């Protein structure tokens, strides 16, 4: 694995959008651990209740700013005045079912939000890399048994998936039209179905399981047969960090899009993951299958081929599913046992240490 250490990152100024979300909180913590200066840009309202960013006390660890990425007039100066060397764009409307309820807002946030960010990054002195994070659902899903590659067609049945495919097209257009040699290099990152401690988003499998288990009732699972490429949140975040560094060092020689996903054998059904997580939690956990009759369409089979990231970036999946679920169950158990800010921060660092092995501190 190409080392992720402070030698490179301690000299970087990073704008991170969506920094108060689940993945954004983990990445903010990791970037600060590496010594990077971070300006975080997110909506003013907490993304959930409770929310990990607040629990870890990270507002004092970064330059924390509130802004809606749909507001180009407000977004641009927040990015440009910080003089970033790297921009990682993670702000999004990230839920499939909310996309059905709020399709126009979903397209505005995910597609136009990406355009607003890239417009703000045009001709920005000192900027070397822009990573636009999308999703595995940006592909035209044909329920294939083989994993999707970066060259496969983009698409999307539902508004969320289509809006992320649109964000990919926006990024490709800006890369070709405005980001030439001598300017920042732009690439997109595609990952999905991450799990880990600190997620309280709606309509998430592990979140719903933990809520039910901690309340002493069986968890209700709506679709046990859907297959997903399950991975711990640290896996794609490591990929984003390695991609940003590669863009800084190799510029436009780096490919324009990357998948970050587990090996095919780690793609499991929802039912298999539920059973495994319940075993990790303990005997007090239980669940039942109760599919709603009017559920909106969701992809049944979706896997990614990460060969490009493995070959070009030196990234590789490091955690098997059992370890992924053990890390996740441990985090939530500690939270429900009353762990405070210091203990939760220490647990996050311990899990990053375990993920990186002996190279955790550079």
- pLDDT at position 359 is 38
Mean pLDDT of 131-152: 88
**pLDDT tens digit string along 27-65?**
999 999 999 999 999 998 888 889 999 999 999 999 999
- pLDDT at position 205 is 86
Q: Under the phi-then-psi rule, with left for phi > 0, alpha for psi from -120 to 50, and beta for the rest, what region is 29?
A: alpha
pTM of the model: 0.93
CATH code for residues 6-359: 3.40.50.720
- pLDDT at position 358 is 42
**pLDDT tens digit string along 182-213?**
889 999 999 978 999 999 988 788 988 898 88
- pLDDT at position 297 is 52
């Amino acid at each position: 694995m190409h080392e992720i250490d402070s030698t490179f990152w301690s000299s970087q100024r990073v704008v991170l959008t969506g920094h108060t979300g689940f993945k954004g909180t983990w990445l903010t913590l990791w970037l600060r651990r590496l010594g990077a200066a971070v300006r975080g840009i997110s909506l003013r309202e907490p993304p959930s209740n409770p929310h990990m960013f607040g629990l870890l006390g990270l507002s004092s660890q970064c330059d924390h700013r509130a802004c809606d990425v749909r507001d180009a007039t407000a977004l641009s100066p927040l990015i440009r005045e910080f003089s970033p060397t790297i921009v990682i764009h993670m702000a999004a409307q990230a839920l499939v079912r909310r996309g059905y309820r709020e399709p126009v807002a979903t397209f505005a946030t995910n597609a136009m939000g990406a355009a607003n960010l890239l417009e703000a990054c045009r001709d920005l002195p000192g900027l070397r890399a822009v990573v636009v994070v999308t999703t595995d659902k940006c592909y035209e899903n044909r329920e294939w048994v083989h994993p999707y590659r970066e060259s496969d067609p983009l698409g999307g049945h539902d508004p969320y998936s289509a809006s992320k495919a649109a964000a990919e097209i926006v990024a490709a257009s800006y890369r070709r039209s405005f980001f030439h040699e001598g300017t920042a290099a732009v690439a997109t990152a595609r990952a999905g179905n991450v799990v880990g401690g600190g997620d309280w988003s709606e309509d998430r499998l592990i979140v719903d399981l933990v809520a039910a288990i901690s309340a002493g009732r069986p968890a209700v699972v709506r679709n046990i047969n859907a297959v997903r490429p399950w991975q711990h949140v640290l896996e794609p975040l490591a990929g984003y960090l390695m991609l940003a560094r590669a863009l800084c060092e190799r510029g436009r020689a780096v490919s324009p899009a990357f998948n970050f996903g587990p090996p095919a054998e780690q793609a499991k059904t929802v039912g298999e993951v539920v059973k495994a997580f319940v075993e990790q939690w303990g005997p007090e956990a239980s669940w039942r299958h109760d599919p709603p009759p009017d559920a909106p369409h969701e992809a049944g089979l979706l896997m990614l081929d990460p060969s490009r990231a493995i070959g070009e970036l030196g990234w590789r999946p490091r955690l098997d599913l059992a370890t992924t679920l053990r890390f996740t169950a441990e985090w939530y158990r500690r939270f429900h046992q009353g762990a405070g800010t210091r203990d939760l921060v220490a647990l996050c660092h311990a899990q990053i240490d375990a993920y990186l092995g002996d190279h955790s501190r550079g």
